[in-house]
Amino acid sequence: LFDALDDQPLDAMLTLLHLLRNDPRSDKIDLGIGVYGDDNGCTPVMQAAKMAERNLIETQTSKAYLAAEGDAHFINLLAQRVLGGAEVNRYCGVQTPGGTGALRLAAELIHKANPEARVWLGTPTWINHHALIRSAGLHILEHPFFDQATQSVLFDEMMTALESARTGDVVLLHACCHNPTGADFTPAQWRTIGELVNRKGLIPLIDIAYQGLGHGMEADAAAMRTLLDSVPEAIIAASCSKNFGLYRERIGALWVKADSATAALRARGNLILIARAMWSMPPDHGAAVVRTILDSTDLTQIWLTELEQMRTRLNSMRAELAKAVPQLASVAQQSGMFALLPLNREAVADLRVKHGIYMVENGRMNIAGLQAGNLPRFAAALKPYLQG
């Protein structure tokens, strides 16, 4: 049986991780995989999560199965943070294994509801989006999103491409802190997207994986919420990996906004059916941690303070990098964990070989890998590869 399988290359992210681990240089700089690091390069468990875990160990009385939709209280508490005061009866939500599980579940639901639907992805987008959408059997179309050389959002080009979308097509949008570019839409651009979505009868699929790491929990969701209020149907895939630091616990959620309460209930039944065939029930621990935090005013305050420290550090590293390398001034205007530097593959390889600086081959850097102690060396190493 297995002889029939093709060999598969390691993906770019894993190859990078492997090279990094085997590099003996003590001053190597890891700007690769998208995990938050503090000024010492550590990714500690957040204090609020530690406190919630202690509380859970003392009070949890059973680990018996919950339900295919996960922890209902978790979903409701997270909905308040993600969706705000949305018209809840038109939404249904389920807990998922990470934002990845939410996106995969979304793709399966779309395919079940309309196998002819095509999904529009911006170029570039998160490396996993293509595989997740394709795995459900959906057809992908791409529209321009970002020009690496000029560091600008190709908004007009995107709108022109989307003019050829068909009614029922899905358009995937990053709510904030775009991965890999850090470039987000302006409020006016979000309004234009809303008009196009409504005029052409498209369904927005919103990926929100970095809420709170750009401008704040509320600010990072504001544009998405305005869009959601203006459209009859939408899908929202959220991740708690980054903003709660729960990466390996695999915790996220998916919401569907339907055009009536009845349709929302029907969507919910289908989500549960699909989830049962994929993972039966989502892992509980991450949801229990997030629920415990959001259910307590004190823990919520501690978590928000920690999240603010992460965000402030990211933004200050952005400002420092822009100051040290004037050609990268735009990095200070972008948000979240990533920037897509105007570097070609040779430059990225050179920086790794000559300087021990690790970035993804397309030029994406993780801003959280910068530290007061390594930023000057990074800036100096980068300069010969930048124009102007």
Active site residue 126: yes
How many CB atoms are located within 10 Å of the residue 231 CB? 17
Instruction: Please identify which residue in 31, 49, 82, 100 interacts with ligand PLP, judged by CB under 6 A.
Output: 100
259-262 CB contacts, 8 Å cutoff, 24+ apart: 259/90, 259/232, 259/233, 260/90, 261/89, 261/90
- Residue 349: both structure tokens together: 């390889």
- From 5-13, 93-101, 262-270, 363-371, span contacting ligand PLP (CB under 6 A): 93-101
CA angle at 367 for the pair 253 and 207, rounded to the nearest 5°: 20
Spatial distance between the Cα atoms of 75 and 16, rounded to a whole number of angstroms:
35
Q: Among ligand PLP, ligand TYF, none, what binds residue 243 when CB lies within 5 to 8 Å by partner kind?
A: none
Helix (H/G/I), strand (E/B), else coil: 241: coil
| Euclidean distance between CA atoms 37 and 30, whole angstroms | 10
Q: Which of 30, 34, 212, 250 binds ligand TYF (CB under 6 A)?
A: 34
Among 69, 71, 207, 284, binds ligand PLP (CB under 6 A): 207
- Using CB under 6 A as the binding rule, whether residue 335 contacts ligand PLP is answered as no
Q: Which is nearer to ligand PLP, 252 or 356 (CB)?
A: 252
Contact between residue 237 and residue 254 where contact means Cβ atoms under 8 Å apart? yes
| Per-residue mark of binding to ligand TYF, 96-115 (x: CB under 6 A) | --------------------
Interacting residues of 112 by C-beta distance below 8 A, sequence separation 6+: 270, 274
d(CA 289, CA 243) in angstroms, rounded, equals 13
3-state secondary structure (DSSP) of residue 366: strand
Tell me, by CB under 6 A, how many residues bind ligand PLP: 13
242 is catalytic: yes
Which residue in 12, 17, 20, 33 binds ligand TYF (CB under 6 A)? 33
From 52, 120, 126, 264, the catalytic residue: 126
x/- contact string, 155-174, with ligand PLP (CB under 6 A)?
-------------------x
209 catalytically annotated: yes
Among this protein's residues, is 207 annotated catalytic? yes
98 binds ligand PLP (CB under 6 A): yes
Q: Which residues bind ligand PLP (CB under 6 A)?
A: 34, 98-100, 126, 174, 179, 207, 209, 239, 241, 247, 252
